């Protein structure tokens, strides 16, 4: 991390990006590092709630548009990309403000992780099996610790864990000590916390705004590209459901309802991930995260 880096984090739709923008503008000479595993994909803008062109013109952003939607993007690659971004932040003599959404990515760039290797042939064989439940059962046998750290329907993470177990001959969980330790790394962590019902309402409102902003057309455009979407990109919140809608598998109303439910469930998982970290200073928000949280971020940046 750069000296005196600050992280503002929280579940999806908590308002962390708005807080970061206001804090960066008020502090001056501050760069934002977006820590979101889906905002790395180019042209996946509406469904990932990517910062607008105006925001990116006003404040330098990093961690966005790092790969094509058809590419396989990894945590290791994100660490390397952020390291390059930090070199430019240091060269500019600027402050670093990280916006944390994806827990594993945030841990990787703040605390460091020992990342296992990759075994493409093993992964290809696993991806050819459409039965996620059987893959989860297989992982339960090979690494009972790993299955306690993921949802049984998180196909991408299940396949990755199995790939490592089979390819390395070692449990996937043996590579993950960094996600359960919280060293004093000099970083200030500020968390945004809402009452559960209020966050659910914010998520529903945001999903409807995404649809109004053209999410369906964005998905149609992505599907029309010659190389399509990678398995990871195609499973992204909002995109999976809209792909099903565009392909005629469900109505728009059902797709929207599924996006809302799946995003609300994801927000709960994010909260569980962050709750483990005792370094986070939580700010309970009642109405406006910009008004209520920005002063804490500015104090940390000063």
Write out pLDDT tens, residues 256-278.
999 999 999 999 989 988 998 99
CATH number, residue 171? 1.10.20.140
CATH number, residue 269? 3.40.50.300
pLDDT tens by residue, 30-84: 999 999 999 999 999 999 999 999 999 999 999 999 999 999 898 889 999 999 9
Choosing from 159, 175, 191, the residue where a domain stops is 175
Report pLDDT for 3: 64
**Are 289 and 166 in the same domain?**
no
**Are 109 and 124 in the same domain?**
no
Report residue 106's pLDDT band, with 50, 70 and 90 as the boundaries. Answer: very high
Q: Write out the residue range of the structural domain in which residue 229 sits.
A: 6-113+179-301
User: Between 182 and 284, where is the model more confident?
Assistant: 284
**Are 192 and 238 in the same domain?**
yes
CA–CA separation, 253 and 260 (whole Å) = 11
**Are 77 and 150 in the same domain?**
no
**Are 12 and 27 in the same domain?**
yes
Asked, for residue 100, whether it belongs to a domain, the answer is: yes
**Are 155 and 206 in the same domain?**
no
**Are 162 and 230 in the same domain?**
no
* Residue % of the chain over a pLDDT of 70: 97
Provide mean pLDDT across the span 291-297.
98
Provide mean pLDDT across the span 212-226.
97
Asked, for residue 165, whether it belongs to a domain, the answer is: yes
Give the chain's domain count: 2
pLDDT tens by residue, 18-32: 999 999 999 999 999
Report pLDDT for 4: 75
Choosing from 175, 190, 220, the residue where a domain stops is 175
The pLDDT mean for the chain works out to 93
CA 228 to the chain's CA centroid: 21
Asked, for residue 99, whether it belongs to a domain, the answer is: yes
**Are 68 and 162 in the same domain?**
no
**Are 11 and 147 in the same domain?**
no
**Are 194 and 158 in the same domain?**
no
Asked, for residue 159, whether it belongs to a domain, the answer is: yes
Report residue 173's pLDDT band, with 50, 70 and 90 as the boundaries. Answer: confident
Report residue 183's pLDDT band, with 50, 70 and 90 as the boundaries. Answer: confident
pTM of the entire predicted model:
0.85
**Are 153 and 209 in the same domain?**
no
Report pLDDT for 2: 66
Q: Which of 269, 275, 53, 270 is nearest to 180 (CA)?
A: 275
pLDDT at position 221 over 80? yes
pLDDT at position 178 over 60? no
Direct distance between the N- and C-terminal alpha carbons of the chain, in angstroms, rounded to an integer = 17
pLDDT tens by residue, 233-252: 999 999 999 999 999 999 99
pLDDT tens by residue, 119-151: 989 999 999 999 999 999 999 999 998 888 788
**Are 266 and 280 in the same domain?**
yes
Report residue 230's pLDDT band, with 50, 70 and 90 as the boundaries. Answer: very high
Q: Work out the number of other CB atoms within 10 angstroms of the CB of residue 151.
A: 13
CA–CA separation, 174 and 153 (whole Å) = 22
Asked, for residue 186, whether it belongs to a domain, the answer is: yes
Asked, for residue 1, whether it belongs to a domain, the answer is: no
pLDDT at position 177 over 70? no
* Residue % of the chain over a pLDDT of 90: 78
pLDDT at position 210 over 60? yes
Choosing from 131, 159, 175, the residue where a domain stops is 175
pLDDT at position 179 over 70? no
């Amino acid at each position: 991390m750069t000296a005196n880096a600050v992280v503002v984090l929280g579940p999806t739709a908590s308002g962390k990006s708005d807080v970061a923008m206001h804090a960066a503008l008020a502090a001056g000479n501050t760069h934002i590092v977006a820590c979101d595993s889906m905002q790395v994909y180019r042209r996946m803008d509406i469904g990932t709630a990517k910062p607008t062109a105006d925001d990116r013109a006003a404040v330098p952003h990093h961690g966005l548009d790092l790969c094509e939607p058809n590419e396989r993007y990894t945590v290791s690659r994100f660490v390397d990309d952020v390291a390059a971004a930090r070199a430019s932040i240091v060269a500019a003599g600027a402050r670093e403000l990280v916006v944390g959404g994806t827990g594993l990515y945030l841990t990787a760039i703040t605390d460091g992780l020992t990342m296992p290797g990759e075994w493409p042939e093993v992964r290809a064989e696993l991806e050819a099996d459409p039965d996620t439940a059987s893959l989860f059962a297989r992982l339960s046998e090979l690494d009972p610790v790993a299955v306690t750290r993921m949802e049984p329907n998180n196909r991408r993470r299940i396949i990755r864990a199995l790939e490592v177990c089979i390819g390395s001959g070692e449990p996937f969980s043996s590579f993950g000590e960094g996600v359960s330790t919280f060293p004093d790394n000099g970083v200030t962590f500020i968390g945004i916390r809402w009452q559960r019902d209020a966050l659910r309402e914010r998520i529903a409102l945001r999903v409807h705004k995404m649809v109004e902003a053209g999410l369906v057309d964005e998905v149609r455009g992505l599907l029309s590209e010659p190389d399509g979407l990678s398995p990871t990109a195609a499973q992204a919140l909002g995109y999976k459901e809209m792909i099903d809608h565009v392909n005629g598998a469900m109505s728009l109303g059902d797709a929207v309802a599924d996006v809302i439910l799946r995003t609300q469930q994801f927000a709960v998982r994010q909260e569980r991930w962050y709750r483990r970290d005792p370094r986070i200073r939580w700010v309970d928000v009642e109405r406006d995260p910009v008004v209520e949280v920005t002063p804490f971020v500015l104090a940390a940046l000063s």
